Amino acid sequence: MDQNSPEVMTAIQAAIKASVLCEKIRMDLSAGESRLKSDGSPVTIADYGAQAIICKLIREMFPNATIVAEEDSRELRRPDRSRILGQVAGYVNAFMPVSSLEEVCSWIDFGSNSTTDRFWALDPIDGTKGFLRGDQYAIALALIEKGVVKLGILACPHLYADVHRPLGEKGCLFFALKGKGSFQMDLGGTNKRPIFVSKVASPSEAVITESVESDHADHLAHRRLAQRLNISKPSLRMDSQAKYGILARGEVTLYLRVPFSAESEYKENIWDHAAGSIIAEEAGGRVTDVIGRPLDFSSGIKMEKNDGILVSNGILHEAVLKALEM
Ligand code: AMP
Ligand code: MG
């Protein structure tokens, strides 16, 4: 697989289309139109719309592809959701002709929740809370073969493209191919360039990125770790796998996701880390869990064999793992 492979071209085009849809909805959305899934996490018409577009484009090109994706159409099909389903169909129709509401549901349901030897992992909107807040979010798509991530794409429609101009133009797409490096381009598909992690070699010079949501990781543990390593720069809190992207382009040095104490039974979802991890690694970074184990993408939709996440520029990885043991 290279940059011109059908998989890569299709996935990038799908992520770009989904980004445009999400930004359109974000502009139109009033807070009242978000709603809560039964597990309490917010989901919007954008999650469904992005999943419909991406699944449809992948299956059109690869009819037998397995796509493991976060959403399904169950709730959307409820009679009291018909207005929302109509909205999803309306937005999707701007990108591809939709003949019926049922058709949109069937595209969303190309997504399944069981993995195979070779499958796509999709989070149509990673960081939905960031999306709703007007902060960062990402469309995350990865191709996984025998537990190894071969291709990762993160479209970040609301992320500044130029590190030196944080108030400048927004919208960028990161992608990486196994063994072939990591790249950033703009959402028009132009200005493609290779990206690399920072060369910071002294922990005291490091910059940490972590979740905005304080219940997604133990931020107090992050503070203690920063003190142990004499890190004085403030950490950068950001939603979604955009954190992997900014680490891969050298803007920050460490991404910490330390789980709450041993009682925390939370296991990470593969679609929350597959695309980001290959983008950080191919840019020269290292990705493990907080006790140094490689991420395991071969145990189904949950990363059962991992606890938390540590991403670094590689150079600082062992020092951070050691400090995490203390
Ligand atoms: P972030 O924006 O980095 O905080 O990550 C967003 C992701 O966190 C969502 O896609 C969720 O799947 C995931 N998430 C939800 N609850 C938790 C939790 N208790 N611990 C860690 N991650 C979580
Ligand atoms: Mg997510």
Ligand 1 atom closest to the Cα of residue 215 is: 19
Gap from CA of 291 to ligand 1 centroid (Å) = 19
The pLDDT value recorded for residue 40 is: 40
205-239: pLDDT as tens digits: 999 999 999 999 999 999 999 999 999 999 999 99
pLDDT, residue 189, reads: 87
Check residue 43 and give its pLDDT: 59
User: With contact defined as beta carbons under 8 Å apart, do 256 and 208 qualify?
Assistant: yes
The average pLDDT across 172-180 equals: 98
Q: What is the mean pLDDT of residues 150-165?
A: 95
What residue's CA is closest to ligand 1, atom 5? Answer: 240
pLDDT in tens, 65-103: 999 999 999 999 999 888 889 999 999 999 999 999 999
- pLDDT score of 296 more than 70: yes
Measured in Å, residue 228 CA sits from the centre of ligand 2 at 30
Query: What per-residue confidence (pLDDT) applies to 132?
Result: 85
Model confidence at 194, pLDDT cuts 50, 70, 90, reads very high
Instruction: State which ligand 1 atom lies nearest to the alpha carbon of 212.
Output: 4
Instruction: List strand residue ranges (DSSP E) for the chain, in order.
Output: 35-36, 42-43, 67-69, 111-112, 118-126, 138-145, 148-160, 170-177, 181-186, 193-194, 208-210, 236-237, 254-257, 286-288, 309-312
Nearest CA to ligand 1 atom 6: 127
Other Cβ atoms less than 10 A from the Cβ of 38: the count is 6
Average pLDDT of the residues in 272-300: 98
What's the pLDDT at 78? Answer: 92
Ligand nearest to the CA of 239: 1
Q: How does residue 134 score in pLDDT terms, banded at 50, 70 and 90? A: confident
Report which protein residue has its CA nearest ligand 1's atom 8: 216
Closest ligand 1 atom to Cα of 238:
2
Q: What is the DSSP string of 293-314?
A: PBP--SSSSB-TT--SEEEE-S
Asked if pLDDT for residue 120 goes beyond 90, the answer is: yes
Digit-coded pLDDT (tens) for 19-72 = 999 999 888 865 545 544 444 434 579 999 999 999 999 999 999 999 999 999
Look up residue 5 and give its DSSP letter: S
> Ligand 1 pocket: which residues have CB below 6 Å?
126-127, 211, 213, 215-216, 239-240, 266, 269, 272
What amino acid positions are annotated as catalytic residues? 47, 128
Nearest CA among 48, 278, 26, 65 for reference residue 153: 278
Please give the pLDDT value at position 263. Answer: 61
CA-wise closest residue to 12 among 277, 192, 189, 131 = 189
Q: In the structure encoding, which two tokens stand for residue 280, read together?
A: 């950080």
Rounded percentage of the chain residues whose pLDDT exceeds 90: 85
Which ligand has the nearest atom to the CA of 306? Answer: 1
Nearest atom (ligand 1) to Cα of 126: 10
Rounded to two decimals, the pTM is 0.95
Overall average pLDDT of the 253-258 stretch: 98
Nearest CA to ligand 1 atom 13: 216
Residue 262 is predicted with a pLDDT of 62
